[in-house]
Amino acid sequence: MIASITRGTYRSEDDGDDTDDETAADDAPGPADGSSATLTGDDLVLGYPDADQPVIDGETITAAQGEVTALVGPNGSGKSTLLKGLADQLTPDAGSVLIDGEDIHTLDTKALARKLGLLSQESTSPDSITVEELVYHGRYPYRGFFEHVTEADECAVDNAIDLAGCDHLRDRAVGSLSGGQKQLAWIAMVLAQDTDVLLLDEPTTFLDLHHQLEVMDIIETLRDERDITVVVVLHDIEQAARHADTVVALRDGEVKACGPPEEVVTEELLVDVFGIDAEVDSTDRGPRVTPLAARHDDPSI
């Protein structure tokens, strides 16, 4: 069933990459052992086979250990492409992705999936499986082919479901859920993966305001209590400013600004990157953005 779920860092269960099955379960439950990691995309060139030009053309980005890095930018600016490159879902045409200096291409599938989890925008799973079954798939990197569910797996799944706030959905078929409910289930699945690094592509999509705040709280908890390195794509610039340690602003595949929210989220940046006039006020909780008007003299947005 794993093979039919296309989300996260897994390629598939029978991808011929079972070299570490015997030891996988011993390593559970991942970063709860206190490990953590810095993720670096070094001089990355990323694109798609049917396109003339790369989307990302030689960018370097570092997500510091135990910090939240937010990727922001207009539609089509390359946020998801960059995230897929960092997660090894898209092979770079040049450059490399390193976790604590180790090239992720030297890691086999399960070893990588124990270090790095991806919540992507492209999710598919059989409609008939329950939320609990979906979340158990997050434990795949810790399980050998013939191994049964361990206590560590049960514990990780319970914690993940609890943290994502979807216990009430546990026995529901995924196909019967609303968009927001599905999003919570997928978040629980990637949390169960128990990784040092989490890459989240628009995790607040489909969620009401209450659940958006809860997801941002989860991200802060993972950072503050478990030292997890998080890279998160967000459309809400204020959410990024409030919750991230570092904001990376992309436009046309180029990193236009990178740094602490109060340095990056400025009125000038909102014009240059998003093509909007806005007021930015400095508050205790970071820059507060009041959008005023979309500029119509910016044809590329």
Catalog residues that contact ligand ATP under the rule CB under 6 A: 48, 50-51, 55, 73, 75-81
Nearer to ligand ATP by Cβ, of 86 and 112: the residue is: 86
CB of 245 to ligand ATP, least distance (A): 21
The DSSP output letter for 147 is P
Nearer to ligand ATP by Cβ, of 29 and 85: the residue is: 85
Nearer to ligand ATP by Cβ, of 48 and 145: the residue is: 48
CB of 246 to ligand ATP, least distance (A): 17
Kindly report the number of other CB atoms within 10 A of residue 4's CB atom.
12
Q: Are 267 and 278 within 8 A, CB to CB?
A: yes
170/158 Cα distance (integer angstroms): 10
Tokens at 287, concatenated: 């820059």
Radius of gyration of the chain, Cα coordinates, nearest whole angstrom: 19
Cα 223 to its chain centre, rounded Å, is: 13
CB of 116 to ligand ATP, least distance (A): 18
Nearer to ligand ATP by Cβ, of 166 and 258: the residue is: 258
CB of 242 to ligand ATP, least distance (A): 19
Nearer to ligand ATP by Cβ, of 52 and 297: the residue is: 52
CB of 236 to ligand ATP, least distance (A): 12
CB of 77 to ligand ATP, least distance (A): 4
Nearer to ligand ATP by Cβ, of 76 and 144: the residue is: 76
The DSSP output letter for 130 is B
Range list of H helices, the chain: 21-27, 79-86, 109-115, 131-137, 151-164, 179-192, 209-226, 237-243, 261-264, 267-274
Picking from 253, 239, 229, the residue whose alpha carbon sits closest to that of residue 207 is 239
Going by DSSP bridges, is the β-strand pair 246-251/254-259 parallel, antiparallel, or unpaired? Answer: antiparallel
65/281 Cα distance (integer angstroms): 29
